[in-house]
Amino acid sequence: VQLRKIILKNWGPYRGTSEVPLAVEPTAPIVLIHGENMRGKTSLLRAMKWCLYGELMLQDGRTPLDHLRLVNNDEIEHGETEYLVELEFEHNDEILTLTRSGLASIDEFGERRSSVVKTTLRTATGVVYPEQNISEVVEQMLDKNIADFFLFDGEMLIRFDERLREDAQSKKAFIKQQVEKALGLPFLKRLIADLAEVHQRVSEELTKGNRADDRARKLQGDIAAVDAQLEIHQVDVAALAARQELLRVSIEQLDGILKDVAEIRDAYVRREGLVEQQAASDRKIKNLLAEAAEFAEANWWFPIASMIAEELDASIAKVAELGEEASASAELQFELRQVRGQQDSKTCSHCGQSLPEDARESLAHREKELLKQIALLPKSEDPGVLHGRIQSLAKFRGASAVESQYQQMSQAIGRERLEHHRLTTQVTELSEALSSNSLDIRAKETELGQARAELASASSKAAEVESQISLMKQRRQGLVSDLGKLQGTSPLLARRVEIYGEAVRTAEESLNTFRQRMRERVQDEASTIFRALTTEDDFAGIRLNEDYSLAVLHSDGSPVDLISAGGNQVLTMAFIGALGASSSNEAPLVMDTPLGRLDVGHREHILRWLATLTSQVILFVQSGEFDPDRDRALLGTAIGRELVIRRGDSAEQSLIEEKKR
């Protein structure tokens, strides 16, 4: 990474827009920037840090610093101020421009306020990175964790120096922290994280696959069960089809037989009808005879009806002769017989019930009265007898009606007997005709009916089974479809999980080895730098122990007990230089007034060393630490660019311009 230029707008003491060219050739990597105190060297360094990471810390390295405090005081006093820092840098032959900007103002309480800071990163060809990816891209180029080691100022050197002077335990912790921070293992840790993520993914795939396998086994079981049921149903269907076929053949045969003997069947039917008619006629004759018998019993007198008519006529004629008196006597005589008859039978002649005592006494009294009346009448043929006879015979009148009815009944019986005879004759004739046919048509018809019923039942059953088969086939199709959608495990998937797991374990375990090697590398680097920077020939190098204790070594390998303040600062610089050099990226080194506390000898060593350190060193110096003649001569042709920050119109305004060479 090389910084090509930085543009500042209303930042720190740089009012308006200032463009600072920084690009250098690798053969002359040093950008020398002169500036006295308060001119804006640190503001420039902070502009770089804020532009890269969007945040700032105070020189203690821990306390956040609000970037709005860097907005130009003169400008913001005049109202809303647009501020901006833009870094143009080159990375892998591509030129990128990172810009952060905002609008600042002072509110009614005198506090500085800003709009949302806008950040853009674009390439020279116009490709603009999504804002959410910018920090990741910047981190890849210049890791924020190790920014202190390539963007450091004199204050940081002092801070390091002070910490390295602290008690041993605190020093170890500080060194370890810085080494870890510098080496941060970002690359290896990211590699492990990525491996862990792909391992996690493939493990989840395997878990899902295992679940899919379980589900597949269940589905296969279900399919097998459906297949077994289908097989049973297929057998049933085949059996039913065979049975249906047999029944159809049987029905066909029976139909043929019954069709051939249709006439015979008709004769049978006709005979059955005649037999039924014959039976009905038989019943009718019996009924007519019973009616006739009853009629004859009720009209028993009918055969002597003419004799009765003669006697009646004779009695009526004699009664007429006897005249009225005789008639009266006859009536009395008749009543007397009736009274006596009742007395004898002790029952009522009208209702037939037994007579009570008072009724019998009444009858006796009546008998006496009747005898007295009769005794008073002249003696002749008993008119009572005549009258009784007339009364008895009168009810036999109407013999002609009885005769007519009797004749009708006789005729009906005669007709029915004739019909019966006719039917009997026909039945006899048909029976004789059918006696030669041995076929039991009725049985065949019964058999046909049964066969048809059975065929209907078999057809219905077959349709039901076919329907079940259809449903089962649909279910099977669904199960097979579900099975096809499942992505189960495979030996390859299981092996992938193993291999990925091995990769994660290997990479994780390599972290400690990596740390150890990098610690050794920092130690070697720091020793090399320290030897180059120190003016003490006796100091052979630096040892960074496993517990991260730091020691300066004599040439015989023994630790130096006590070193000077200047020596300690050189040690600090060597350590920082080693950390920066051991970081994953080659970054520009920006050093803000690092030479102030060093003697001439160490300063000379450091200035010579700077040109070898990296491909771009931006060195801020002030007149108290840098001799324009001697020190510039030490840097010699390594100076690629030289700039001067000078006072502008006020104490809070600075101008930066390139020094003509």
Partner 1 sequence: MAERATQREIALASILEVRKYQEGRIPEETWTAIVNGIWEMRHNLVSGRGASQDLMSGLLDTVARESLDG
Q: How many CA atoms lie within 13 A of 634 on its CB side?
A: 18
533: closest CA among 596, 601, 615?
601
**Comparison of 207 and 405: residue with beta carbon closer to partner 1:** 207
**Comparison of 277 and 584: residue with beta carbon closer to partner 1:** 584
CB of 592 to partner 1, least distance (A): 23
What is the Cα–Cα distance from 600 to 222, expressed in whole angstroms? 91
Provide the 10 A C-beta neighbour count for residue 188. Answer: 18
Would you call 15 exposed, middle or buried from its count of C-beta atoms within 10 A (0-12, 13-18, 19+)? buried
What is the Cα–Cα distance from 575 to 36, expressed in whole angstroms? 27
Note the helical H segments in 14-118: 41-53, 73-77
CB of 544 to partner 1, least distance (A): 15
Is residue 187 at the binding interface for partner 1, with CB under 8 A as the rule?
Answer: yes
What is the Cα gyration radius of the chain? 72
Is residue 23 at the binding interface for partner 1, with CB under 8 A as the rule?
Answer: no
Q: Which of 140, 253, 343, 535 binds partner 1 (CB under 8 A)?
A: 140
**Comparison of 140 and 373: residue with beta carbon closer to partner 1:** 140
What is the Cα–Cα distance from 428 to 410, expressed in whole angstroms? 27
Site for partner 1 in 574-603 (CB under 8 A): 581-586
CB of 615 to partner 1, least distance (A): 8
CB of 517 to partner 1, least distance (A): 5
Is residue 179 at the binding interface for partner 1, with CB under 8 A as the rule?
Answer: no
Q: Which of 19, 55, 111, 194 binds partner 1 (CB under 8 A)?
A: 194
- Provide the mask over 92-121, with x wherever binding to partner 1 is found by CB under 8 A and - wherever it is not: x-x---------------------------
CB of 498 to partner 1, least distance (A): 7
Is residue 188 at the binding interface for partner 1, with CB under 8 A as the rule?
Answer: yes
Q: Answer whether 12's CB lies under 8 Å from 47's CB.
A: yes
Q: Answer whether 643's CB lies under 8 Å from 33's CB.
A: yes
In 361-410, the DSSP E strands lie at: none
Amino acid (one-letter) located at 392: S
Is residue 27 at the binding interface for partner 1, with CB under 8 A as the rule?
Answer: no
CB of 11 to partner 1, least distance (A): 27
**Comparison of 194 and 321: residue with beta carbon closer to partner 1:** 194
Q: Which of 65, 103, 198, 246 binds partner 1 (CB under 8 A)?
A: 198
What is the Cα–Cα distance from 19 to 90, expressed in whole angstroms? 17
Q: Which of 4, 91, 233, 444 binds partner 1 (CB under 8 A)?
A: 91
Site for partner 1 in 39-78 (CB under 8 A): none
323: closest CA among 368, 381, 366?
381
Is residue 284 at the binding interface for partner 1, with CB under 8 A as the rule?
Answer: no
Is residue 191 at the binding interface for partner 1, with CB under 8 A as the rule?
Answer: yes
Q: Answer whether 363's CB lies under 8 Å from 339's CB.
A: yes
Q: Answer whether 540's CB lies under 8 Å from 554's CB.
A: yes
Q: How many CA atoms lie within 13 A of 145 on its CB side?
A: 17
Q: Answer whether 648's CB lies under 8 Å from 13's CB.
A: yes
Is residue 127 at the binding interface for partner 1, with CB under 8 A as the rule?
Answer: no
- Provide the mask over 470-509, with x wherever binding to partner 1 is found by CB under 8 A and - wherever it is not: ---------------------xx--xx-xxx-xx-xxx-x
Contact residues toward partner 1 (CB under 8 A) are 91-92, 94, 133, 136-137, 140-141, 183, 187-188, 190-191, 194-195, 197-198, 202, 491-492, 495-496, 498-500, 502-503, 505-507, 509-511, 513-514, 517-518, 521, 581-586
